Each structure stands twice: as C-alpha cells, then as structure tokens.
Structure 1
Amino acid sequence: MQGIFTVSLDFELHWGVFDKRDRQQREANYKNTLRIVPQMLELFSKYDVHVTWATVGSLFAANREEWETFRPSIEPDYAVEKYSAYKWVRQHGMDSQYQWAHFAPEEVAMIMKYPGQELATHTFSHYYCLEEQREKMAFDADLKAAVKAAEKFKAPMRSLVFPRNQFNPEYLKICYDNGIKTVRSNPDGWFWSPVTNGGAGFMRRVFRTADAYIQVGGVRTSYPLSKIKVTPGEPLQLPASRFLRPWNPKSELANKMRLRRSCQEIRIAAQKKEVYHLWWHPENFGDYPEQNLQSLEVLLKEFKKCQQKYGMTSWNMGEYDQYLVREAAPKAVKQADKVLQ
C-alpha cells in the first residue's frame, strides 16, 4: 500500500466564534478568507491534493431569509445560553451589511467545481456536542438542517467534523443515521482529548502550542490504516494528525520550525506507508493571507515530492469510506491495500 495525505478544513466565518469575538473586528479576516478560497482551490488542484471542506451549513444560505428556511425545527437548549447561534442571531441580527460574516454560497459552489474536493458538514449552527443542553433531539435536527441546506448544491453530506473538536461518541449513531459515513476524531495525546469550551487548561494549551514545533509527549502523528476505527452502524473515525498553525509575524524562526516539522511528518508517513491528516480553518489564513498561502505551498510541494518518490496519494475524508469495507477493521485494511496496490 501507499502513504495517504488528507486535508480537512473547518470553514466557519463568524459562526465559529460568535460566542467569543466581535464580527466588526473580524471584517478584514473574513473578507480575506473569502478572497483566498479560490486561491486555495487552485493550489490543491495544482498539487492534486484532495480536501474535505467541513462547512457550517449556515454558510450555504444566500441571506437571512434563506437561512430561516434552512434552520432546524428544534434549537439546542444550552445551559450556557451564549453557545446558541439562534439566540445570538435574535440578539445581534444578520443585516446585509454583515453578509461577509455569515454567508458564502458563491465560495461553496466553487468548491464543488474542483475534482477531489469534498463538501462536508461542520453542523448547521456550529453545534457544541460536549456542552450541557436540555433538548435531546436538537443535534439530529441540526444535521437534518445541514443536509437540507446542502441540497441547494446537490451535495450529500457524508463527512463531518465536530465543532471545536468536541468529539462525542454518543452522537455517532445520529451522524450515521443522517448519512454521515466518516467523522474526524482528535489527535493522539492527552492534550488533544475532547474538552468543553473553556475546558483546556494552561498546561493543555502549552503542550498544544509546543507540539507544533517540537516532539512532545512521544506522540506520533501518522498512523496505519488499521488504526481507523470501524464499527458497524457508525461512521469511520479518522484521527487528525496535525493542526496547521498560521504564519507568525513575530518569529520567522517559529515559522521555519513549524513547516520543517510538518514536512518531516509528511515524509515519515510516506516512507512508512501511513496516513497523515492535516487540518486547519480557512480563517486561520485571513490575517496574513499571502504568507499563509506561501506556507501551504511549501507543504503541498513536500507532498508532491513524496508522491513522486514513495507513491504517496491523497484522499479526502469521504474517500476512506469508499475504499474501506465497513464490517471489520482487518477486512477494511485488506480491501484498502488492494485498492492502493
């Protein structure tokens, strides 16, 4: 078999931070993010990299009126009210002057035009799956709303990324029942284990930051196909490997260390014929777009070298379900090996 390079993106705009940030202060970031989506797509096409765009379903709408037709019939009833996107909208509104913060139908349509790019779901409302909430059917209703919104683009929602990496195994069956075949799970290491909002303590944050530059905790980032968890009646669980941190204007040394580490990890995955799963938010590129695009191209060039030297290939998240038999892990790996030979 060959090594596999996978990229998944959490595409959110303001839906990802409405409970933390002021949208007016994020205007330049969001507009830059929308501007560079075509540039990212061109880069992925140039280097033949398959990508899953896990997109908040609300971005599919063209305006507030269409958003209202998509929204779920049941809202989450969080114990912490500020986590509800719907209560936020009722309080702050979505005037047309803030179109760039809430909707991106043109960019979503563009994703669908590029081979190897998968449009997937990041839930409809950036739903928090580890936060306490009292409405039992709200998550199911949220996914149904995401699926309904995606019908506008004739895009079945087959892959999912849990917002804020709040991976919750109790929700896997609901995902599967709504057509989700693959979900992203968290990287190895105690500092990447799922936590609630505000649950990441100081040491956890320190280790996450340090891990981008140096080896900490003895955690390997690539893994064999046999590590992908296959359970009948549930989606495949595809672990993330590395969060791609954005370009740092304060330290060129940190930028070099970060890229060197990721390039090395891609090479190791190619040599060991393992999976390497890189992820980030398009918004992470919004503050320094040109520098971040240059950094991305460094990594894509490394993949291309590994493709030429070791035969490494690229799959989006949905392609794992296509190639892996979902009955038992050993059988899944055997089938994938046949496809890759």
Structure 2
Amino acid sequence: MQGIFTVSLDFELHWGVFDKRDRQAREANYKNTLRIVPQMLEMFSKYDVHVTWATVGSLFVANQQEWNEYKPAIEPDYAVEKYSAYKWVRQHGMSDQYQWAHFAPEEVAMILKYPGQELATHTFSHYYCLEQQREKMAFDADLKAAAKVAQKFNAPMRSLVFPRNQFNPEYLKICYDNGIKTVRSNPAGWFWSPVTEGGAGFLRRVFRTADAYVQVGNVRTSYPLSSIKVTAGEPLQLPASRFLRPWTPKSELANKLRLRRSCQEIRIAAAKKEVYHLWWHPENFGDYPEQNLKSLEVLLKEFKKCKEKYGMTSWNMGEYDKNMRGETAGKEVKRAEKILQ
C-alpha cells in the first residue's frame, strides 16, 4: 500500500464564528474566500489532490426564506444560548446585504464539478457536539436537515467533520444511521484532544501553536492505514494530522518553518507508506488570499514529488470508506469460503 495524502476543509463562512465575531468586520475575508474557492479547485485538479469539503448545510441555500424551509424542526437547546445559530438568526437576521456571509450555493455546486472533490457535511447549523444542551433529538434532526438540503445538488452526505473539532463518540451511531460513513477525529497528542468551547486553556493553546513549527514531544502526524478500525454500525474515524495555519505578515521565518514542517511530514508519510491528513478552513485564506494560495501550492508540489518518487496517492475522506469497507468485505467473503470448503 502506498502513502495517502488527504485534505479536508471546514467550509463555513459566518456560521463558524457567529457566536464570537462581527460579520460586518469579516466582509472582506468572506468575499475573498468565495473568490478563491474556484482557484483552490483548479489547483487541486492540477495536482490531482482529492479533497473533502465539509460544508455547513446552511451555505447550500440562496436566502433566508429558503433557509427557513430547510432548517430542522428540532433546534438544539444549549445551556449557553449564544451557541444556537437559530437564536442568533432570530436576533440578527440574514438580509440580502449580508448574502456573502451566510450563503454560497454557487460555490457548493462548483465543488461537485471537479473530480476527486467530495461534498460533505459540517452539520446544518455548525452544531456543537460537546456543549450541554437539552434536546436529545436535535443532532439527529440537524443531520437530517443537512441531508435534505444536499438533495438540491444530488449529493449524499457520507462524510462529516465535527464543528470546532468537538468530536463526540456518543454521536457516532447517529452519524452512521444518517448515512455518514467517515468522520474526522482529532490529531494525536493531549493538546489536540476534543474540548468544549472555551475549554482549551493557555498551556494547551501554546502547545498547539508550537506544534505547527517544531516537533512537540513524541507525537507523530502520519499513521498506517491499518490503524483506522472498521467497526460495524459506526463511521470510520480518520484522524487529522496537521492544521494548516495561514500565512502571517508578522514573521516570514514563521511562514517558512510552518511550510517546511508540513513538507517534511508529507515526505515521511510517503516514505513510510502512511496517511497524512491536512485540514484548514477556506476562510483561513481570506485575509491574505494570494500569499496563502502560494503556500498551498508549495505543499501540493511536495505531494507531487512524493507521488513521483514513492507512489503516494490522494484520497478524500469518503474514499476511505469505499476502499476499506470494500476490502474488509472481500476478506470476509474469502474467510467464509474457506470455512465452507
């Protein structure tokens, strides 16, 4: 088996930060993000990189009227009210002047036109799976709403990324029952373990930042495909390897160290025939789009080198389920045949 390079993107616009940011202040970022989506798609196509676009379901619609038609009947009842997208909308609204902050149906449709690109779900409302809330059926209703709105594009939702990386094993069966076959889990290392919003203390944040530039402890970022367990009735859990931090004007040295570290990790994964799973938000590129696109191409060129030298390939998240469950099924058939002989 060759090494595998995977990219997953958390595509969310204002739905990802409605509880902590002002949308007007983010106008340039969101408009830049929408502008560079086709550029990213072209770049992924050029280097034959398969990508999962985990997209908030609310981005699939064209306006607030349509959003009201698709939103789930059961809303989460968070103990902290500001985490509810529905309460936020009732308070602030989504008038046409903020179209660029909340809706992206044209970009969603564009993703499906490129080979190797998987349209996946980031839940309908940017649902927080570790926060306390009182509606037991709210998550199930959210996924059903995400699946329903995706029918507009004839795109079944087979992969999921938990918003804010709030991976919750208690929700895995609900995911599977709603057709989700692969989820992204968190990177190795105590400082990447899932926590509630606000649960990441100062030390944890320091370690996460440092890890982007230098080796922290004995944590390895790539892993063998065999370490991904196939469990009946649950989605595959595909660990992230590295969050791609955006370009910063503050330090060119930091930018170089960050890219060098990721390039080294891709090479190691290729040489060891392991999985390397890179992720970020398209919005991370919105403040300095041209510089970030150049950084991305550095990494994609590294993948191309590893493809030529080591035979490294690229899978989106959904392709793990297709390849691994199919392989497992084949082994079970052969085992049964031996028993019958």
CA 1:206–1:330: 2 relative to 1, 3 Å: farther
Counterpart residue identity of residue 215, structure 2: Q
Letter in structure 2 aligned against 1:270: A
**Match runs of 1:71-150 below 5 Å:** 71-150=71-150
Counterpart-to-counterpart distance in 1, 2:132 and 2:270: 41
Aligned mates of 1:260, 1:223 — CA distance in 2: 19
- In structure 2, what is the Cα distance between the partners aligned to 1:91 and 1:27? 19
Task: Tell me the TM-score normalised to structure 2 length.
Answer: 0.96
1 CA distance for matches of 2:39 and 2:126?
25
Q: Deviations over 1:302-341 (max 9, x none)?
A: 0000000000000000000000027979969x9xxxxxxx
Alignment check: 8 A CA contact 1:325 1:331 kept: no
Over residues 126-173 of structure 1, what are the superposed CA-to-partner deviations in whole Å (9 max), with x where a residue is unaligned?
000000000000000000000000000000000000000000000000
Does residue 234 of structure 1 match 2:256? no
1:337 corresponds to which residue?
none
User: Aligned equivalents of 1:188 and 1:310: distance in 2?
Assistant: 25
1:108-257 → structure 2 map (5 Å cutoff):
108-257=108-257
Q: In the alignment, residue 246 of structure 2 is paired with which amino acid?
A: P
- Encode CA deviations 1:244-284: one digit per residue, 9 max, x unaligned: 00001100000000000000000000000000000000000
Tell me what 2:261 maps to.
261
CA distance in 2, matches of 1:238, 1:330: 21
What is the TM-score of this pair, normalised by structure 1? Answer: 0.96
Write the distance in 2 (CA, Å) between the matches of 1:220 and 1:326. 28
Q: Which runs of 5+ in 2 are unaligned?
A: 335-341
User: 1 CA distance for matches of 2:190 and 2:44?
Assistant: 32
**CA displacement at 1:217 relative to structure 2:** 1.9
Per the alignment, in what secondary structure is the counterpart of residue 325 of structure 1?
helix
Structure-2 separation of matches of 1:26 and 1:216: 33
CA distance in 1, matches of 2:95, 2:229: 44
Aligned to 1:45: 45
Deviation at 1:230, TM superposition (A): 1.8
For residues 240 and 223 of structure 2, what CA distance do their matches in structure 1 show? 10
SS of structure 2 residue aligned to 1:324: helix
Taking the aligned partners of 1:212 and 1:229, their CA distance within structure 2 comes to 27
Does the 8 Å contact 1:231/1:327 carry over to 2? no
User: Structure 2 matches for 1:17-56, cutoff 5 A?
Assistant: 17-56=17-56
CA-CA distance at 1:226 after TM superposition: 1.4
Q: Distance in 1 between matches of 2:243 and 2:85?
A: 25
Q: How far apart are the structure 2 equivalents of 1:284 and 1:238?
A: 22
* RMSD, aligned CA: 1.5
Aligned-partner residue type, residue 126 of structure 1: H
Amino acid at match of 2:216: V
How far apart in 2 are the matches of 1:146 and 1:161? 13
How far apart in 2 are the matches of 1:156 and 1:81?
Answer: 31
Q: Which whole-Å CA distance do the structure 2 matches of 1:233 and 1:151 have between them?
A: 24
Letter in 2 for 1:51: V
Give, in whole Å, the separation in 1 of the partners of 2:249 and 2:329. Answer: 44
User: Across the two proteins, how many residue pairs are aligned to each other?
Assistant: 333
Say whether the 8 Å CA contact 1:248–1:255 is kept in structure 2.
yes
Distance 2:37 2:136 in 1: 36
- SS of the residue corresponding to residue 304 of structure 2 reads helix
Separation (CA, whole Å) in 1 of partners of 2:331 and 2:53: 28
